[in-house]
């Protein structure tokens, strides 16, 4: 099944809105959720997307804060990319003070070198988050797509379109890496509210 037109996307959105309105967000001990600031990170060596949202007390109100990318020149050595990536994440934490982080997990690479480089980039990001005591949760790409679009094989463009609808923002001028990062933050926020916290993976 593929989403081919706006009418189908609107149906998906309507189902999500009804589910969110009818679900009272609670933690595992049945206390109301406080406002939470979540940073999503779509990690890559030379272009890492980031997106930050606030989840309000009701749990069904997600407010966009900011998003963007951390970029490094294509000719820069790996060590410089990792330095800039760690430094960029550190600056984002100091500026926006997130309460939790969501990053992509469960990736698969046929190329061993690519897997090693991506692992190094993820390590730099995770270490920086841990340094600042930010609990970090991993979500497989398919799980994020299912949470946002209802389809595990949705395209990046479809994810961007649903993110724009859910957060009421224009995403035409945004990099797909940053909308993917917003989608990760939204996935974590939805599990906090809809699943009452039981579906949230343990911090890594």
Catalytic residues: 42, 104, 177
**Vertex 174 angle, CA 151 and 172, to 5°:** 75
Alpha carbons 186 and 191: distance in angstroms, whole number? 9
Q: Which long-range contacts (CB under 8 A, 24 or more apart) does 170-173 make?
A: none
Alpha carbons 178 and 100: distance in angstroms, whole number? 17
Alpha carbons 56 and 60: distance in angstroms, whole number? 7
- The residue written with tokens 């982080």 in the block is 101
Q: Residues 6 or more apart from 29 whose CB is under 8 A from it?
A: none
Q: What is the DSSP string of 37-69?
A: EEEEEE--SSEEEEEEEEE-TTSS-EEEEEEEE
């Amino acid at each position: 099944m593929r989403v081919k037109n706006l009418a189908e996307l609107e149906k998906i959105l309507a189902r999500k809105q009804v589910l969110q309105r009818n679900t009272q967000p609670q933690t595992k001990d049945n206390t109301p959720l406080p406002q939470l600031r979540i940073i999503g990170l779509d990690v890559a060596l030379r272009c890492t997307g980031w997106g930050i949202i606030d989840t309000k007390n009701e749990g069904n109100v997600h407010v966009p804060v900011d998003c963007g990318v951390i970029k490094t020149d294509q000719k820069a050595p790996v060590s410089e990319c990792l330095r800039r990536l760690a430094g960029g994440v550190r600056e984002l934490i100091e500026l926006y003070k997130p309460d939790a982080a969501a990053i992509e997990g469960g990736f698969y690479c046929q190329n061993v070198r690519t897997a090693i480089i991506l692992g190094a980039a993820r390590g730099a990001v995770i270490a920086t988050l841990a340094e600042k005591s930010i609990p970090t949760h991993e979500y497989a790409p398919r799980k994020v797509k299912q949470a946002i679009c209802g389809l595990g094989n949705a395209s990046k463009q479809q994810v961007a379109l649903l993110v724009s609808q859910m957060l009421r923002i224009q995403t035409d001028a945004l990099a797909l890496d940053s909308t993917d990062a917003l989608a990760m933050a939204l996935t974590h926020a939805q599990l906090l509210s809809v699943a009452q916290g039981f579906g949230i993976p343990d911090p890594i």
